[in-house]
Structure 1
Amino acid sequence: MVGLLQDKVAVVTGGSSGNGRAMAMAFAHEGADVVVADLQAEPREGGTPTHELVMAETDRRAKFVRCDVTNVADLEAAVEEADEFGGVDVMVNNAGIFRAEEFLDVTEEEYDALMDINVKGVFFGSQAAAKKMVEKGGGNIVNISSVAGLQGSGEYVTYNTSKGAVRLMTYALASKFGPQGIRVNAIHPGLIETTMTTEDVPIFGTEQEDAFVETIPSRRAGTPEDVANAAVFLASDLGGYVNGESLVVDGGMSSTL
């Protein structure tokens, strides 16, 4: 059976864990070869490294490349690795971090750390991929933003700023590269159960969990697979006329805010 991404080549930053891992696996199951670009191969949630799991569960090729998205040379090298499989067709700028510092207490160092990963990484990841896609005659870039990139919150000013930048960057890149056959879209996940929401900023397993979920019209939190399904749609021909779009994957949460 031919997959939606048959014989495409995808690079996924932050692909070892969470949403990135789910997207890499979903792409492979739809026929793509995958480059997993991350700081470490081992998933934060435990288990088999993503690139190994791809090869064990599918007939697709996969490899891991160490990539610090704050380093432009690392991003360029990760995209170059895709040449071994035929060159990048799909670039997923997924790597990101969450911070919730009090605005009046945010230091320059904290600000720079967040922006370097959440904005600089997306900017130069897109640049590295676009250079290759222009030569190849087309491609898809999928940027992972957040519902925090759509609406502001006094508790998350720095994070809102970074994810809002990703949203507008996506619109600008779609306008620039659409005529060259490159579609650029953003996914805005809501409350997704990953190590970010179980460990970094614990919501799951706390008293907050039930109350938070009750604010979501779908009455459940999202899974990494929900995000992966959206990414497959955007990266495949099913989304062939979708460009410069913000696809919200939040169970309706943002509609109630």
Structure 2
Amino acid sequence: MSNRFDGKSVLVTGAASGNGRAIALKFAEEGAAVTVSDLQEEPRRGGDPTHDLIEEMGRDVQFVECDVSKPEDLHDAVAEHVEAFGSLDVMVNNAGIDRQIPIREVESDDYDLLMDINLRGVYFGCQAAIDVMADQADGGAIVNMSSIGGIRGLENSSLYCTSKGGVTNLTRQLALEHGENNIRVNAINPGVIETAMTLEDGDTIDGLLEETPLGRAGQPEEVADGVLFLASDDASFVTGHNLVMDGGFTA
């Protein structure tokens, strides 16, 4: 196994479960010190906490409770990360939720919930990371979690697609603004990935898979591979890019 992230430190939001858990574990496997950030320590589908598994690998790790809808929590999480590990080399803004509601039924509270977590959380996660990375000689890498919903419409998903569309374009904008600081900003746009969140809506997932040329859901570990590529020196000339990982759904 490669050790592309030896000596590097990584903060992952929403890392207790799903894609975030796979991302945090894979960074640790490749040598990184990791801050596991989430609202709770336990995975949604049970099992050992992510940070316990990383500790068993012999890697440096800490858990930081963080509500990404609160900018102060994100800035505090980054500050705790830097205090523990000395720098912030990679920030992965992964935390997110989904709600499928026809627009005529959407209440303002529904709107606020989706935007606060999916877009506000990414926006201020980027801000907190850039505050640190802009003063680091080596800059840093930010990877945001967008979606196929960030580049095309999905049934009854006006809220989700609006939030993820914001993430897609925010990624491009920040790449333009902070290339001069040697900060690369990219995003992953996954299709149907087999996580606890997606499995809760089986009918919708079945419909999406019918339109997926590869005929299956992706795995969190596959998403993690994409994240690590964008964060690594293998992608040293890649910024402002939204990497679609959807089994051909948008083809």
Please report the TM-score for the alignment, with normalisation by the length of structure 2: 0.96
Counterparts of 1:1-257 in structure 2, within 5 Å, are 3-56=3-56, 58-83=57-82, 84-137=84-137, 138-199=139-200, 202-203=201-202, 212-255=208-251
**Deviation for aligned residue 1:132:** 0.5
User: Distance between the aligned counterparts of 1:209 and 1:160, measured in 2?
Assistant: 16
Alpha-carbon distance change, 214 to 104 in structure 1, aligned in 2, over 3 angstroms: closer
* Paired AA for residue 171 in structure 2: T
- Look up the SS of the partner of 1:35 in the other structure: strand
User: Distance between the aligned counterparts of 1:246 and 1:2, measured in 2?
Assistant: 24
* Paired AA for residue 24 in structure 1: A
User: Distance between the aligned counterparts of 1:2 and 1:99, measured in 2?
Assistant: 38
**Residue pair 2:10, 2:92 contacting (<8 A) in 1 also:** yes
Identity, % of aligned positions? 50
**Deviation for aligned residue 1:213:** 2.7
Q: List per-residue Cα deviations over 1:92-111 (Å, max 9, x = no partner).
A: 00001101111011111110
* Paired AA for residue 218 in structure 2: G
RMSD of aligned alpha carbons: 1.3
Regions of 4+ moved over 3 Å? 208-212
Q: How many residues were matched structurally? A: 249
Alpha-carbon distance change, 85 to 112 in structure 1, aligned in 2, over 3 angstroms: same
- Look up the SS of the partner of 1:228 in the other structure: helix
Unaligned 5+ runs, structure 2: none
- Look up the SS of the partner of 2:134 in the other structure: helix
Alpha-carbon distance change, 179 to 209 in structure 1, aligned in 2, over 3 angstroms: closer
Unaligned 5+ runs, structure 1: none
**Deviation for aligned residue 1:219:** 1.9
**Residue pair 2:144, 2:188 contacting (<8 A) in 1 also:** yes
**Residue pair 2:199, 2:205 contacting (<8 A) in 1 also:** no
Please report the TM-score for the alignment, with normalisation by the length of structure 1: 0.94
* Paired AA for residue 252 in structure 1: G
* Paired AA for residue 22 in structure 1: A
Q: List per-residue Cα deviations over 1:39-76 (Å, max 9, x = no partner).
A: 000011211100110111x2211111100001111101
Alpha-carbon distance change, 211 to 168 in structure 1, aligned in 2, over 3 angstroms: closer
User: Distance between the aligned counterparts of 1:79 and 1:113, measured in 2?
Assistant: 23
